[in-house]
Amino acid sequence: MLPALLAAFTVLPLAQHPGSEALPDEERQPAAGEALISAHFGIDPRPTTSFGAVVIDGWLYKLGGYFGKAHVYERERQSGDFYRISMADPSRVEILTSPGRMQSVALVEHEGDPIRIGGMTILNGTGEQHDLASLEAVERFDASSNRWEPLPPLPEPRSSHDATVLEGVLYVFGGWRLGGHESDSSTWFDHGLALDLNALEPEWRAVAQPFQRRALVAWAHGDRVFVAGGIDSEGEISSAVHAFDPATSEWTALPDFPESGFGIGLTSLGEELVACGMDGGVFRMQPDEDAWRPAGELLFTRFFHRLLPDPDGGVIALGGTSREGRPAEIERLVPEGDAQLAVRHWTLPRPGRAHNRQGLSLRGDELLLFGGNGAVDQHAFGPDDFLDEVFSLNLVSMRWTREQPLPARRQSIQTASVGDGELALAVGGFGHDGEVARTIGAAHAFDYTTRTWGTAGILDVPARSQSLLFEHDGASWMFGGQETLPDGEGDVETIYTDVVWRTERAADGQRRFVDSGVRLPVGRCAMAGALFEGQVVLVGGMRAGFEPIETVDVFDLESGEWSEWPAPAVHRLGGRLVVQDGRLVLVGGAARQADGSFGGERSIEVFETGADGWRTLDARLPVEPRRIQALAWRDRVLVHMADDPDGAGRVHLFAIDVEAPGAGL
């Protein structure tokens, strides 16, 4: 490929894109009744960029796209997948006949059938010189026969364009022609095209367009075609919006999209247009208004995605890419108040054997899970029940990666992030020493950069499990937990410790755990806890004899004094406490049921600074939680559960937004 064409494919990092500056938060706030709230719709089985998509008769059709590294084009990374997702049950996916590998393809609907228009195919393999060719094919898909049928091809191959259908006429705007590595340059189109699909012998005709841009979007709305965004041959990104009136063949300039228009999405919601670009802001506008109005934000920012109308009265956001990767999450934007939106629920195949008691760490959008127990019975402590497996989950792409194993098999590990999050610290836990199951006194740390485990430079670790570990002012603090003391004859004494340990740095640079001299009001384990505004807050748990502890004990790390806060409405064993936006969120754990047994607790409680007590949200976890872990993620509480209640071998993830409609905060 010649330099001119290479330059056309050179895209700056997102932060450097002209016009990609997101509006300040205060200018993104929707007016009352204007908000579109992001909810979970489904998981895309093949996250891609630059694909075709359309909704027809209760099905979401998706064709092609690219899933390799940006701007490194390889035939093996170009998708030829053509499938449809049920709008009624997004877990139902049907694989359809593929027309071949392609991207930058437009997919539209006419009389109940999908039609594909143009696109680009990659002819070169991995490591070879780029050889890219635009396509001219136009075909209709017959779902009843699962076959593609030819329509009049484009007059010239075209890609990076878009298309839409209005009153039976197929319109194509923007784009360029790529002719492979032998072409001297790319050809940018200065005209659009129209094809009357209802004609006896359809023929393409040229339509004047007042721009030369690609990476734009076209959408039929009312009696006009709207075209937004894109980039020109000089590399200038446009946020311009134009409307084409087929009755007069005239174009009208509309208000610019407020943020970057590169790889923008555009669709309809009732009488309004809805658009969203790479910065994640969602905006809406009546075609005759003089400005776009803020309507909210996507959870996962994306561009080169698709916005599509939801027949149930919302907007679907599908595919694309972002700084964090290609989102697998299919989001549904719904008008505020239309649904219970506080808890987003994902289910994923379990990547390993662990059912419970895993260590958990989070760095950005990467969730790290390590160790745990592979048995369904929570009291199975044979040598093979303890695990050393480690997996990471990219929360954007929803893809698992197997990582280097833990140096030892164990469960119930205390975890913390060290430094700026470069290390995931794993301390203590419970495992098998070859003769008996016992608590472990060891520390290891996973380095996110090298993807390896190290010693963490921490010595003299107390043998503890079900304790709580916090990092504060350069020191690690360990509160409570239990210690097992095997007598060598098969009996084990369990101590519910009240000792608080902390690390001190020695002259050799190592950190050693020492008795801090601080004692808990009562020895306890299986409690929820969090470091909140310089204080360690301990909630629930149990003491010796399996007696519940219903107090909330609070230790001030500066003054060294204990105090007591109001107790939550539900006492929990093994609950999780998360700091989220200046408040504490209590979730999960086992609670006593009406019949006296213990079961997973679905309620969510919140404690805010200055409040007299805890508030129970209207929102609840949608399934019974069993031995969960929870962490703060973005502006939500992320809950992980590997112990699937129905035994289907799935991992459950919940993202709780306590400020969302339906939460009841």
What gap in Å lies between CA 215 and CA 277, rounded to an integer? 12
Q: Which residue has the tokens 């964090």?
A: 324
Cα 262 to Cα 259: distance, rounded to the nearest angstrom = 9
DSSP string, 612-650: SS-EEEEEE-SS---S-EEEEETTEEEEEE-S-TT-SSE
CA distance 566 to 540: 12
Q: Is this prediction's pTM over 0.85? A: yes
pLDDT of residue 2: 27
By CB atoms closer than 10 A (0-12, 13-18, 19+), residue 153 is middle
Calculate ∠ Cα 188-193-197, nearest 5°. Answer: 150
How far, rounded to the nearest angstrom, does the alpha carbon of residue 647 sit from its chain's CA centroid? Answer: 24
The DSSP bridge pattern shows strands 458-459 and 511-519 to be parallel
Residue 491 has pLDDT above 80, yes or no: no
Mean pLDDT of 113-128: 96
pLDDT at 487: 66
Helical residues (DSSP H) of 212-318, grouped into ranges? none
- pLDDT bin (cut points 50, 70, 90) of residue 7 is very low
428-430-435-441 Cα dihedral, nearest 10 degrees: 10
Structure tokens at 455: 């010693």
pLDDT band at 3 (very low <50, low <70, confident <90, very high): very low
CA nearest neighbour of 274 among 237, 312, 313:
313
Average pLDDT value over all residues in the chain = 91
Report residue 26's pLDDT band, with 50, 70 and 90 as the boundaries: confident
Q: Give the model confidence (pLDDT) of 422-467 as tens digits.
A: 999 999 999 998 888 999 999 999 999 999 999 888 989 999 999 9
* pLDDT tens-place string over residues 323-373: 889 999 999 999 987 667 899 999 999 999 999 999 999 999 999 999 999
Residue 458 in tokens: 């921490």
Distance CA 93, CA 310 (A): 17
CA-nearest of 185, 328, 173, 406 to 653 is 328
User: Which residues neighbour 435 within 8 Å (Cβ) at sequence distance 6 or greater?
Assistant: 486
C-alpha 68/C-alpha 78 separation (Å) is 7
Query: Which parts of 97-178 are beta strand (E)?
Result: 106-110, 113-117, 120-122, 132-134, 138-142, 147-150, 162-166, 169-173, 176-177
Q: Which residue has the tokens 């054997």?
A: 353
Span 41-97, pLDDT tens digits: 999 999 999 999 999 999 999 999 999 998 899 999 999 999 999 999 999 999 999
Residue spans of beta strands (DSSP E) within 16-58: 36-43, 52-56
